[in-house]
Amino acid sequence: MGDKANTHSGAAGRAATAGHPTSVRNVVLVGHSGAGKTTLVEALALTTGAVNRAGRVEDGTALSDYDEIEHRQHRSVQLSLVPLEWGGCKINLLDTPGYADFVGELRAGLRAADAALFVVSAAEGVEGIAGGPRAVWEECAAVGMPRAIVITHLEAARADFEEMARACAEAFGADDPDAVLPLYLPLSGAPAADGHLPVTGLIGLLTQRVYDYANGAREEREPDAALLPQIDEARNRLIEGIISESEDETLMDRYLDGAEIDVTTLVTDLEKAVARGVFHPVLAAAPASEGSTTGLGTVELLELITGGFPTPLEHPVPAVTTPQGVSRPTPVCDPDGPLIAEVVKTASDPYVGRLSLVRVFSGTLRPDETVHVSGHDLADRALGNGSGNGSLHEADERMGALTAPFGKQQRPLAECVAGDLACVAKLAHAETGDTLSAKDSPLLMEPWDMPDPLLPLAIEAHSKADDDKLSQGLARLVAEDPTMRLEQNQDTHQLVLWCLGEAHADVALERLRNRYGVQVDLVPHKVALRETFAARSAGRGRHVKQSGGHGQFAICEIEVDPLPGGRGIEFVDKVVGGAVPRQFIPSVEKGIRAQAAKGVATGSPLVDVRVTLLDGKAHSVDSSDAAFQTAGALALREAAADARIHLLEPVAEVRVLVSDAYVGAVMSDLSGRRGRVVGTEQAAGGRTLIRAEVPEIEISRYAIDLRSLSHGTARFSREYVRHEPMPPQVAERIRDKAVQAA
């Protein structure tokens, strides 16, 4: 790397294609928002000749013209694919949003990629490493995904490459800091007016050559004698790091004996170590300077990607089964093998319509052929039943056109071989996460993990016209984004869209409005409160009316006793002597249960009581089913009027994984939310897992508050545990609001 010929072919004006998996590199860019991922993609596109100096493709549009929302919000909000060509390889760059709310897009990028490029800003310092990037690094490590690090924004004041490289080694190389080392050192130019030393080139540690970008073109030369001591120190450490990960066990002995290891051997071992995911090189990159067509470090980075990152042949294919759950042998990445592809992202294009980004794991995908679509059904999500992984949906569907995206362009493809990615137009039945397979041999891939959305948005249609389109718009929104969940709450009768955070919610509402033409209003989110009796009470329901013709006559007397939690409503008949005729006893029960569902104090359902029918009166002509239903409801209301009613609130178990530095602040915050900490335990990476029971009414916005409290380093989960009595002062406020709303 650094001593190879810079042969490449530009991709301007045509689609980058791959004839075989060995010529494909799928690379996901990971980093904090503002780290410079999109700028780096544009710099790499310029170096490969895919765009001109102004960052424009041949139709004049910018490479970064992906989404109108991104322009308005000035940040990436979705996964984008940019295919490039370099050195005979097709490089699929998967640019992911850096903001935590769009982690679903990041997970999709990780699923589609074979290696990860972590982009770290020298301007942000260690803060750009903490939180999300470090958590993603651990995810990649768990599955053995190869990783490299690129340090950007070296032009910023007080930017220090070597300091950032050390910080990366500490953050990402906790187990082995010598596995995270620079391949190049920055070459500084003349000091600027503010004293900052601009980076004008790179020093290759293995080749001991200088790659100078100062004159607008990459020029190679010998290093000055004054640089040799600095090079030797960093080079020796790099060589030791490479040799320690070498598969050649004799190499270390030769090195310790003083033998000179040739550069070709070192580069070969470096590339193998990177591909195996055991060594993680650190590089530097910057956009092209004025008049240049090659950004600093972009050639070196492209050489690393093509030479060091693995091909799809080296990436294990996720486990597959039949749609019925029967295991099948894990396929290999073979263009001639059985078709297995996966929809990693679904989007809507205003001109093309629905577009599905597909990663082909086996076989070859071609336009106009019929494939089988199978996936975990999202219908359960629309009903509020979790993640939608219970049932399946299946359909045979004819493939539309295959294209390679490039900015706003869609360039036609004749086929997409195993290991490659492409967009498929107008797959009506396919959703994100679905498997595409041969019609006569349906298969289903193991799903990837998605975060649970924990920020609720209660929404209502703005008008009758919006109401008519709301259901379809929400269904399409949820089908495109698995990190959203739609719930029709049966207790509160609210339509709730669950999101990952405020930015995620803003994008969802804007897409509803602009893409699907649906305007919604936000209303206060309600939690599912319940009511119960605190002690025994009695009530008499008297419904007697006479106004000509048939009257209404029904009287019943009841007794209400509280029950342990979870018992619901029990009805007991203790009428003797036929005071209430047998045919009307079910009517009394029906009226009581109907009133219990409406509540007796705040409009919340009444639960965990035993209602005993003791006595009553009937009339031979005027008594009826409706009259006794009304009398039963009146009796329950009278019993409640003379009793103390407990308001029950749902309590959730909250599990917070947080850096040790923020444990005290998080526990204090939980206590302020009426939470009870039930346990803590140490977790890997200097973190603590806090388990607490917290009333759900206190954590509606916890997804936002926790992120602020922990500087983005914490994540949490929640699970309903039980309902329990609400403190009297809180319950009183709820009752007052219910009275005002009545």
**CATH at 411:** 2.40.30.10
Distance CA 669, CA 667 (A): 5
**Three-state SS at 237:** helix
**pLDDT-based confidence at residue 195 (cuts at 50, 70, 90):** low
Q: Which of 57-61, 172-176, 507-511 has the highest mean pLDDT?
A: 507-511
Q: How many helices (H) and strands (E) does the chain have?
A: 17, 36
Letter for the amino acid at 615? D
Q: What is the pTM of this model?
A: 0.86
Return all residues near 582 (Cβ < 8 A) that are at least 6 apart: none
Q: Are residues 201 and 97 in the same domain?
A: yes
Q: Please check whether residues 470 and 606 belong to one and the same domain.
A: no
Taking the C-alpha atoms of residue 107 and residue 325, their distance in angstroms, rounded to an integer, is 24
Instruction: Identify the residue with better confidence: 95 or 426.
Output: 95
Residue pair 207/3 in contact (Cβ under 8 Å)? The answer is: yes
Task: Express as a percent the part of the chain with pLDDT over 90.
Answer: 59
Residue 187 lies in a domain: yes
221 CB-contact burial (10 Å; exposed 0-12 / middle 13-18 / buried 19+): exposed
Per-residue pLDDT at 276 exceeds 70 = yes
What is the CATH number for 476? 3.30.70.870
Show which of 523, 541, 566 is a domain's final residue.
523
User: Residue 139: is its pLDDT beyond 80?
Assistant: yes
How far apart are the C-alpha atoms of 605 and 580, rounded to whole Å? 27
In sequence order, the β-bridge partners of residue 416 are 365
Confidence of residue 325 (pLDDT cuts 50, 70, 90): confident
Q: Does residue 525 register a pLDDT over 70?
A: yes
**What secondary structure does DSSP assign to 180-232, as a single string?**
EEESEEEEE-S--TTS---EEEEEETTTTEEEE-TTSS-EEEPPPGGGHHHHH
CB 335 within 8 A of CB 364: yes
- Three-state SS for 393-431 is EEEEEECCCEEEEECCEEEEECCEECCCEEEEECCCCCC
Assigned domain for 323 exists? no
Same structural domain for residues 412 and 485? Answer: no
Q: Are residues 242 and 97 in the same domain?
A: yes
Q: Would you state the pLDDT for residue 9?
A: 45
Domain residue limits at 212:
22-314
Same domain, 264 and 349: no
Alpha carbon distances (Å) from 31 to 27, 296, 298, 407, 589: 13, 19, 17, 21, 61
- 413 with 467, same domain: the answer is no
Using only C-alpha atoms, what is the Rg of the chain? 32
**Among the ranges given (274-278, 532-536, 683-687), the one the predictor scored with the smallest mean pLDDT:** 683-687
Cα angle 423-428-430, degrees, rounded to a multiple of 5: 65
3-state helix, strand, coil in the chain (%, to 5): 30, 30, 40
Report the number of distinct structural domains present in the chain: 5
Is 579 contained in some domain?
Answer: yes
- Shared domain for 417 and 546, answered yes or no, is no
Using CA atoms, how far apart are residues 742 and 740, in angstroms rounded to an integer?
A: 6
Span 339-362, mean pLDDT? 87
The 10s digit of each residue's pLDDT in 662-711 is 999 999 999 999 999 999 999 877 889 999 999 999 999 999 999 999 98
pLDDT in tens, 2-45: 444 344 444 444 566 677 999 999 999 999 888 899 999 999 99
User: What confidence category does residue 61 fall into, taking pLDDT thresholds of 50, 70 and 90?
Assistant: low
Q: What pLDDT is attached to residue 59? A: 57
Domain end point (choices 643, 678, 700): 643
User: Is the model's pLDDT at 282 over the cut of 90?
Assistant: yes
Distance CA 468, CA 457 (A): 20
Q: Are residues 377 and 479 in the same domain?
A: no
Let me know: does 682 contact 688? Beta carbons within 8 Å: yes
177 and 30: one domain? yes
CATH number at residue 558: 3.30.230.10
